[in-house]
């Protein structure tokens, strides 16, 4: 699922890339946008489906074959009642690893292209902006997206590199595999925290949820006092 996560991060940068008015590399046409997103969704679906295309029918035989390749597995290999083997074909496993590596490389190249375009039009080709405030807001939004994307990359990329290395080189280390999975799973919690902190509407809501502001109460009270003074006069002149 790493490549699907990379695709979602690429879409974030592509959206920020298209929001710059002076960017001549924007995807503006509805047909091109529909085609671009449809191809990406189709690629993610085919890739996710491809993982389950080579599931062995004889699960017990597959477990025995794995036991031959890994003579000293962990204790759970024998104690857990239900272990599901996805694939035992080495050629197909290497094929999936190669496709995954190419897909990640393709997505990373797109992310790098969108980032460079945003940097160029936000900091160098600034004549396309009609307002300095708009440019500052665009820079702030771009920085937030970069920070939001960097957390999954930092936690998913090392685990991905280790998994590909293990498959290609035939290296097995259960302790490092468990650590790689745990390291990758942390990105969900940290990404949620970062999104709540860096985006102002979410940050204000969290702040108001824990500590209520006094200013709205003062404003409401002053309005009510004004209304009372206008409705009920305190002095009548005859």
pLDDT in tens, 3-36: 777 788 888 888 888 888 888 888 888 898 889 8
Domain that residue 25 falls in? 2-54+89-231
For residue 159, tell me if it sits in a domain: yes
Residue 47 has pLDDT above 80, yes or no: yes
CATH number of the domain that residue 107 is part of = 1.20.1070.10
Number of structural domains the chain divides into: 1
b/e code 92-117 from CB counts within 10 Å (16+ = b): eeeebbeebbebbeebeebbeebbeb
Q: How far is residue 40's CA from residue 83's CA, in Å, rounded to a whole number?
A: 32
Residues 6+ apart with CB under 8 A from 158: 180, 183
The whole-number pLDDT of residue 229 equals: 45
For residue 144, tell me if it sits in a domain: yes
What percentage of the chain exceeds 70 in pLDDT?
86
For residue 78, tell me if it sits in a domain: no
For residue 60, tell me if it sits in a domain: no
For residue 122, tell me if it sits in a domain: yes
For residue 131, tell me if it sits in a domain: yes
| Of 105, 95, 198, 85, the residue nearest 149 (C-alpha) | 198
Residue 161 has pLDDT above 50, yes or no: yes
As given in the structure block, the two tokens for residue 82 are 């239900």
Residues 6+ apart with CB under 8 A from 183: 155, 158, 159
How large is the average pLDDT for residues 143-172? 84
């Amino acid at each position: 699922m790493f490549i699907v996560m990379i695709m979602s991060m690429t879409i974030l940068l592509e959206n920020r890339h298209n929001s710059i008015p002076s960017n001549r590399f924007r995807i503006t046409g509805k047909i091109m946008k529909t085609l671009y997103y449809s191809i990406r969704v189709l690629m993610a679906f085919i890739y996710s489906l491809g993982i389950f295309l080579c599931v062995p029918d004889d699960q017990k035989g597959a477990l025995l074959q794995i036991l031959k390749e890994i003579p000293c597995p962990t204790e759970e290999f024998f104690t857990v009642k239900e272990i599901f083997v996805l694939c035992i074909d080495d050629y197909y496993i290497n094929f999936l690893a190669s496709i995954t590596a190419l897909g990640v490389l393709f997505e990373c190249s797109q992310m790098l292209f969108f980032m460079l375009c945003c940097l160029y039009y936000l900091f160098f080709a600034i004549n396309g902006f009609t307002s300095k405030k708009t440019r500052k807001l665009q820079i702030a939004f771009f920085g937030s997206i970069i920070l939001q994307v960097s957390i999954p990359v930092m936690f998913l990329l090392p685990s991905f590199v280790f998994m590909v290395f293990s498959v290609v080189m035939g290296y097995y280390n259960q302790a490092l595999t468990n650590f790689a999975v745990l390291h990758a799973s942390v990105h969900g919690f940290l990404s949620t925290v970062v999104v709540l902190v860096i985006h102002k509407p979410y940050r204000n809501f969290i702040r108001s949820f824990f500590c209520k502001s006094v200013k709205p109460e003062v404003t409401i009270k002053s309005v009510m006092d004004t209304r009372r003074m206008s409705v009920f006069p305190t002095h009548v002149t005859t």
